[in-house]
Amino acid sequence: MATGLIATDSQLGRMGSDPAITRPSLLKELTARGVRMTAQRRVLVRIIQDSSRHLDAAQLLHVAKQRDSRIDRATVYRTIALLKNCGLIDELDLMHLEGEKHYYEAKTSKDHCHMACFGCGGIMEYASSAFEKLKKEIARSGEFEIRVVRLEVGGYCKRCQTSHGSR
């Protein structure tokens, strides 16, 4: 039976518990691709890279303005678009727990699932060898080359199950 690795928020690839999952340096990747790195873009990329939470564009702008008041909404969206086009970040819905917001996180070296709690709004990440096997089975059976995987699971975390009774 395969076991999985669970992390709260956006912690996979940051924890020492599984060195097989990493988050590559966004700044190094962009520099290696010859992307011009303005001071404002550098601030935004570092925030995304270092955030322990999944951030939406408004949250990213708020944190960035605390570091550089000249950063505006257009710069945030241009930087997000650049990182998405380069394949360096993932855009997530997170079960639309907070409406139609989209959240962003630096890609990890292995795909993982997101579990969203309908009770408290908590987000957990889950990585497992079983998930890797499922992707291989899908690719093989469907004769399909997988390029992007997004899996979100909605339900109730242990704390919410306990505090609100079984659902």
Helix axes 57-67, 73-85, angle to 10 degrees: 120
- Let me know whether 43 and 75 are in one domain: yes
Q: Are residues 122 and 98 in the same domain?
A: no
pLDDT at residue 61 in the model: 96
Domain containing 132 equals: 1-21+110-167
> How many independent structural domains does the chain possess?
2
Q: What is the identity of the amino acid at 55?
A: L
Q: What is the pLDDT of residue 105?
A: 86
Looking at 60, 88, 107, the residue that finishes a domain is 107
Q: What is the pLDDT of residues 127-147, one digit of tens each?
A: 888 888 998 999 999 899 988
Task: Report the CATH number that the domain containing residue 76 is assigned in CATH.
Answer: 1.10.10.10
At 9 the pLDDT is: 53
Distance between CA atoms of 139 and 145, rounded to whole angstroms?
Answer: 6
Whether 125 and 56 share a structural domain = no
Confidence bin at 1 (pLDDT 50/70/90): very low
pLDDT tens track for 76-96: 999 999 999 998 988 888 777
